[in-house]
Amino acid sequence: MSKKQKQWLGIGIVLVAVILALVVWRVGSGNSGKPQDTEAVEGTEGTQQAEGYVEREPKELNKDLYMDSSKDVEERVAELLSQMTLDEKIAQMIQPEQSAISYSDITKYGVGSVLSGGGSAPSSGNTAEDWQEHINNMKQAAVDSRLGIPILYGVDAVHGHNNVYGATIFPHNIGLGSANAPELMERIGKAVAEEVRATGIQWTFAPTLANPQNELWGRTYEGFGEDVEIVADLGAAFVKGLQGSLDTDEYLDDSHVLATAKHYIGEGYTMNGTNQGNVSMEEEEFEKLLREELLVPYQEAIDAGARTVMVSFTSVNGLKTHEDKYLITDVLKGDLGFTGLVVSDYNGVQQVTGKTYKDKIANGVNAGIDLFMEPNSWLEFMTALRELVEEGSVSIERIDDAVSRILRVKFEAGLFEEEIGGETEQSLMEAFGGEEHRAIAREAVSKSLVLLKNDTVNDKTAMQALSDSKNILVAGRKADNIGVQCGGWTISWQGTSGDITEGTTILEGLQQAAGEGVTVDYSESGEVGASHDAVILVLGELPYAESSGDRSVSNLVLTGEDRQLLETVKETAASAGKEDIPVIAVLLSGRMISIADYIDDFDALVMAWLPGTEGEGVADVLLGEQDFTGTLQYTWTWSPSDIADKFAEGNEDKILFKKGTGLTKDGSSITENGTTQIGNGGTRTEDTQIVGLDLESANYVVEAENFTEASGNPQKGNANNIVYLDQWNKEGASAKWEIWVPKAGNYRLHFKIASESDVSGVTAGCGKDADFDMAELAIEAAKDLNDYQDCDMDVKLEQGSYVLQFDAGGASADFRLDSIVFEYLD
């Protein structure tokens, strides 16, 4: 045969194969979710068809063969796999958001997993009972599908079942790192598991195993410490608590949940601490770091029984981890021998290389991701992945491997035997947010406190003087603010200042703890009176999560409100003749912040981190019998400008508090090398004091929910992970944001607003002083309340601090405000 003849024959074979494939597809596509009446078609060697996959009819449905729990897990996996169509397999690989899928679609497609993103509560309400009902309806919908494969429901219970109103909220991991108590971690894990399981959920996306190196990163508080050893110890203990101990009957029983080791890998090492950023390192250097450090906590979590790993948004030398086959397949599944499932992060696959969504999916699947957290585009994902398999860009072996891993985890976790809304679930509901769990959280709070400074005041240490005080002033709005003490990932994704859930504020805790003859006064603004003999000043960061928490070196500072509070305390103490009473600062923060410039104003400094709902834990140490036991697990520099070189040799004088620092009430140090190092000095920050949100580090986006003041109580909501402010049509509704403009110029402000009708009577403005001009915004009706439109306003700004104000007191109808984007014009 000549070359030409061979070519013609080849083309002919391809054509026949394509026609047959089309016939097969038409027959199959009419009844998705049912086994397809397909015939095996052999492709032609050397053509695309030959590499592609043509579906064969699966084995006849026989549930008994895989529902039999006396069989070995691997046997059940293989049996079930052999009864699945390609569509059913792909449906196991997607994870829609609960708000983006209906019960009937779960049944129709046989969807394998669903998540609640941060702050995404059932539409019926946010009580534990609302969750339980909604989850159980979803579970039933999955069981009603042809194969009846149970759904695996995932949620971010990262410091308690934190989306749900009334849950026990534990300190964020940075505080638990300071407590450094593996046995306590295990108890916390168990309590969290019980609250999660009470609502029917079997999987939490926790713990985070990052060891953050740079506090500019908005997720620093999710890491236990800067060293992998502590992360490994506490991470493994938490996994054990969540899942139950391996090789015991309690392991993954119906009062435990699956844990997630996240985010794989290297996220604490991005340049400038940028969230979702890039780790830039010589290849060998990264390899060394990977093998000697980064993998350690993962290995330990896996050894403790962790069965799911979430991939990080991070890139390493420009390659997104979501498409890094070496890291996912070779290292994690190969070298570490991980046989569980790998889940992507929220829309994570959309960030990888590829011209089209389909190309990106191919890269993600081929890198080794098994389950895809594609909250909204799950249906498009399914169609694309099917095409990729048929075209040969993704092999059926890869699909079978992914699905086997997902099914394996489901079988191991006993999901096929789970009784929906069963007895255990009901009894766990009784303990939801109950005393027993709150007692554990309270203990965790008291153990997480770190005393960083404790000077002598009138012959006693400041903490001893506090113990002897009879009339204590508690100062600052943050002292009485559950939302601030909980931080991000609480009720909503970003967290919110204010009375967001049940719990005890620090002020309430102190008031309850005051002994006989001791009074505790409260002043929001910090007015010290002649009767006061000690001041507890509560300062701190406002809540944030993920990228919104990223800071530049110039704005990791005390807020303007806190500095004002400190001034008021000093001035009023002076005029009351009370300059010598001890001033104890309690700092609520998810990381070190620049404090060096104010440190002389405090006699004692207590780092309370983000303690959660049990404020009594703070009082137990400050006013009670307990002493401090917590130690710093991060190196704290004089200035944020020194963070980047804090580990470099010769830079010791830039360290304000060494890792390991922690004092007791009598002023002695808990660890040998952990003494404070106040008195040296790195870069001072006075010249770069910035008040408000630095637009540059916020990418010129002001998120609506991060207001510094609001009246009329606009509600915070969540649509597809966009947090917004809603219900503006209340009397007097307005909000203010403090911002820092780094560069003078003309700006166009885009107010991202969604409304179902035209709205008049809404004004906005931006100014330096209390009085500035407000102009009306032209708000036009959009498609719906998730369809954000730009309402523009042009302003000329100098460099400096501004107040951005929004006034909806006269709004003619309701609308949502998502964010305000600053576009620099010239």
Which residues are catalytically annotated? Answer: 345, 546
Q: What angle do CA 485, 489, 491 make, to 5 degrees?
A: 85
Largest CA distance in the chain: 108
Q: How far is the CB of 546 from ligand BGC (least distance, A)?
A: 6
Residue number, 390 or 705, with CB nearest to ligand BGC: 705
Q: Which residues contact 471 (CB under 8 A, 6 or more apart)?
A: 518, 519, 521, 531, 532, 533, 534
CA 427/CA 430 separation, integer angstroms = 5
**Contact by Cβ (8 Å): 67, 112:** no
Q: How far is the CB of 118 from ligand BGC (least distance, A)?
A: 5
Residue 755: CB atoms within 10 A of its CB come to 25
CA 791/CA 429 separation, integer angstroms = 46
Residue number, 262 or 322, with CB nearest to ligand BGC: 262
Nearest by Cα to 636 from 674, 582, 691, 583: 674
Q: How far is the CB of 363 from ligand BGC (least distance, A)?
A: 19
Nearest by Cα to 176 from 215, 230, 126: 230
String marking each residue 259-288 x if it binds ligand BGC according to CB under 6 A: ---x--------------------------
Amino acid residing at 810: G
Q: How far is the CB of 605 from ligand BGC (least distance, A)?
A: 31
Residue number, 312 or 661, with CB nearest to ligand BGC: 312
| Interaction between residue 378 and ligand BGC (CB under 6 A) | no
String marking each residue 26-45 x if it binds ligand BGC according to CB under 6 A: --------------------
Residue number, 53 or 724, with CB nearest to ligand BGC: 724
**Contact by Cβ (8 Å): 525, 565:** yes
Q: How far is the CB of 618 from ligand BGC (least distance, A)?
A: 27
Residue number, 131 or 205, with CB nearest to ligand BGC: 205
The dihedrals phi and psi of 344, each to the nearest 5 degrees, come to: -80, 165
* Dihedral sign from CA coordinates of 317, 320, 326, 327: positive
Residue carrying structure tokens 């946010």: 126
- By rule CB under 6 A, what count of residues binds ligand BGC? 8
Q: How far is the CB of 111 from ligand BGC (least distance, A)?
A: 17
Contact positions with ligand BGC (CB under 6 A) in 110-139: 117-118
Q: How far is the CB of 461 from ligand BGC (least distance, A)?
A: 41
Amino acid residing at 309: V
Contacting ligand BGC (CB under 6 A), which of 66, 153, 205, 707?
205
What is the dihedral angle through the alpha carbons of 812, 813, 818, 824, rounded to the nearest 10 degrees?
Answer: -30
String marking each residue 140-169 x if it binds ligand BGC according to CB under 6 A: ----------------x-------------
DSSP 56: P
Residue number, 117 or 297, with CB nearest to ligand BGC: 117
Residue number, 218 or 682, with CB nearest to ligand BGC: 218
Residue number, 114 or 593, with CB nearest to ligand BGC: 114
Q: How far is the CB of 346 from ligand BGC (least distance, A)?
A: 4
Nearest by Cα to 96 from 143, 132, 146, 138: 138
Q: How far is CA 287 from CA 211, 325, 326, 337, 737, in A?
A: 17, 15, 11, 18, 44
Nearest by Cα to 540 from 441, 491, 597, 611: 611
Contacting ligand BGC (CB under 6 A), which of 79, 186, 254, 345?
345
Q: How far is the CB of 262 from ligand BGC (least distance, A)?
A: 6
Burial of 406 (0-12, 13-18, 19+ CB in 10 A): buried
Nearest by Cα to 361 from 315, 322, 332: 322
Strand partners, 116: 155
Nearest by Cα to 467 from 457, 479, 453, 480: 457
**Contact by Cβ (8 Å): 373, 361:** no
| Interaction between residue 212 and ligand BGC (CB under 6 A) | no
Q: Report H helices in 30-72.
A: 48-51, 64-67
Q: What angle do CA 178, 181, 184 make, to 5 degrees?
A: 120
Residue 515: CB atoms within 10 A of its CB come to 9
| Interaction between residue 346 and ligand BGC (CB under 6 A) | yes
Side-chain-side CA neighbours of residue 502 (13 Å): 14
Residue number, 345 or 620, with CB nearest to ligand BGC: 345
Residue number, 390 or 546, with CB nearest to ligand BGC: 546
CA 159/CA 167 separation, integer angstroms = 10
Q: How far is the CB of 176 from ligand BGC (least distance, A)?
A: 17
Contact positions with ligand BGC (CB under 6 A) in 540-569: 546
Q: Contact positions toward ligand BGC, by CB under 6 A? A: 117-118, 156, 205, 262, 345-346, 546
